[in-house]
Structure 1
Amino acid sequence: MEQLFTVESLITLLMLVLLQAVLGFDNLLYISLESKKAPPEKQSFVRKMGVGLAIILRIILLFVLMSVIQFFQEPFFSLHDNNILEFEFNVHSIIVLAGGVFIIYTAIKEIWHMMLLNEHEEIEKNEKKGSIKKVILWIVIMNLVFSFDSILSAMALTSDMEYVPQLVLMSIAIILGGVLMIVLADKVSNFLQKNRMYEVLGLFILFIVGIMLLSEGGHLAHLHILNNEVTQMSKTTFYFVIVVLVIVDIVQGRYQKKLLAEKQHQEAVVKKEEES
């Protein structure tokens, strides 16, 4: 246990917490959007409860992965020597692929509702908010899906440590990362609530998160389509795309304000000329 009380262990713990924060960004966005399905007065509670339960289940998942990691990586269904489709599915790849499909479905559904709902339907939708238990359940499930990457990466960072110190250090990192996520989830949700125009941006980022999960799941399954290998989208590419989307959204917003100001100015000029 003396391994826990060294400078090297503290640095590793800091790196693990940062890892939880960086890899948890997409999860944070999902939590903020999913919690909107609960009644407004219960949304903060739903986020805290969902992440709190997920922290406990993440630690349990950590125990499981450290004990039976080989079974998660072992292919159980494969197809080879086929020019159309080749794969080697394992438990890990199936979980990640299912998470990607669900995230894309959620993003498309919310974007579709946003495009079709009129004001009356919006009121009805708010009155028929989803079940709190159901929202918490989905937050927990998706939190576990997103946690696979962070746990496996954390295991790689601490691979040179003995079993007990490694387990304790990773558990502390999961708890600290979860607390940070609870705090940031409220802030992100409040920001989206006050700046509704960024909801569309958030949903499209969520859509890209789904694509990233699909690419990761395909990579884990060694998926080949028409002899073309499915490669994993890197985190660098993911964050680059997000930065581009944010910049485009900011420029588009300012350009629309400029057009609106010019239109109002022209209308004022025309009205003044008519009065004179």
Structure 2
Amino acid sequence: MDWIFHPDAWAAFITLTALEVVLGIDNLVFLSIVTQKLPEDQRARARTIGLLLALVGRVALLLSIAWVMGLTDPLFEVFGRTFSGRDLVLLIGGLFLIYKATREIHEETEGPDEEFQDVTASTTFLSALVQIFLLDLVFSLDSVITAVGMADRVSVMISAVCVAIVFMIAAAKSVTGFIERHPTVKMLALSFLLLVGVALVADGLQQHFPRGYIYAAMGFSMFNEVLNMRRRKKRQAEA
């Protein structure tokens, strides 16, 4: 931990922490959607344990830097385009996120299909934790690769991840509660996950789509929704 006496290490730590927190928005939205399927008395525990498992997964990735960097090596070629292990992980994660968001949007607008109703209703505590853990690994893969290029001390990277996870645990209840109280916000959150899934698939196909565009679009949509909520509240007060 001698890096605490080096200004350059502190600069890397602050930058990585900010990066992890921003990228954690994806996690918080996905976590809130998944835990809504659980009984109310299990949701808080699932959020905390899920994020702690995410912390373990991220630290494991950081401690396996050589393996993670090896994921960028080409594995095979299709129609003149090479694919690496990273590309495959992003493709699978993106497709799952698109599937999950599409199913949730369908249920919110049309109700669950009868043939899938039993499956939908049987979301368990364990399955929620597994989904949170695996999607966090997909979300954090690029941030870990980025971290390797930004800091040369593993302890700096792990410290940044720990601070970011603590922030996410503190914010999870507020984010989840806000989404649960406002159905229209939940639809926005699902649309956000759908866009993130598309971006992951595009990254897996080596067509990088800056995540900032998605955040900007969702931020603008959220701003409009807040104005609509204030307008509805004002009309109710005047009625």
Q: Counterpart of 1:168 in structure 2: which amino acid?
A: S
Q: CA deviation at 1:2?
A: 3.3
User: What corresponds to 2:131 in structure 1?
Assistant: 138
How far does the alpha carbon of each residue in 1:19-55 deviate from its partner, in whole angstroms, 9 at most, with x for none?
A: 1001111121111111112111101100110110111
Matches within 5 A, 1:218-257: 218-219=205-206, 231-250=207-226, 257=232
**CA separation in 1, counterparts of 2:157 and 2:69?**
19
Matches within 5 A, 1:60-209: 60-64=60-64, 66-80=65-79, 86-117=80-111, 128-158=121-151, 161=152, 166-209=153-196
8 A contact 2:3–2:156 mirrored in 1: no
> CA 1:254 to 1:174, structure 2 compared with 1: closer, same or farther past 3 Å?
closer
CA-atom RMSD in angstroms: 2.6
**CA separation in 2, counterparts of 1:70 and 1:52?**
24
8 A contact 2:68–2:145 mirrored in 1: no
**CA separation in 2, counterparts of 1:206 and 1:69?**
25
Question: Unaligned 5+ residue runs, structure 1?
Answer: 81-85, 220-230, 266-276
Q: CA deviation at 1:11?
A: 2.4
8 A contact 1:100–1:209 mirrored in 2: yes
Partner-residue secondary structure (3-state), 2:209: coil
User: What corresponds to 2:28 in structure 1?
Assistant: 28
Q: Counterpart of 1:28 in structure 2: which amino acid?
A: L
> CA 1:57 to 1:111, structure 2 compared with 1: closer, same or farther past 3 Å?
same
Identity of aligned residues (%): 25
Q: Counterpart of 1:209 in structure 2: which amino acid?
A: V
8 A contact 1:32–1:189 mirrored in 2: yes
Q: CA deviation at 1:146?
A: 0.4
8 A contact 1:35–1:47 mirrored in 2: yes
TM-score between the two structures when normalised by the length of structure 1: 0.76
8 A contact 2:76–2:84 mirrored in 1: yes
Q: Counterpart of 1:101 in structure 2: which amino acid?
A: L
Q: Counterpart of 2:57 in structure 1: which amino acid?
A: L
**CA separation in 1, counterparts of 2:170 and 2:122?**
23
Q: CA deviation at 1:186?
A: 1.4
Q: How many residues align?
A: 233
How far does the alpha carbon of each residue in 1:230-253 deviate from its partner, in whole angstroms, 9 at most, with x for none?
A: x21112212222133224545666
> CA 1:129 to 1:43, structure 2 compared with 1: closer, same or farther past 3 Å?
farther
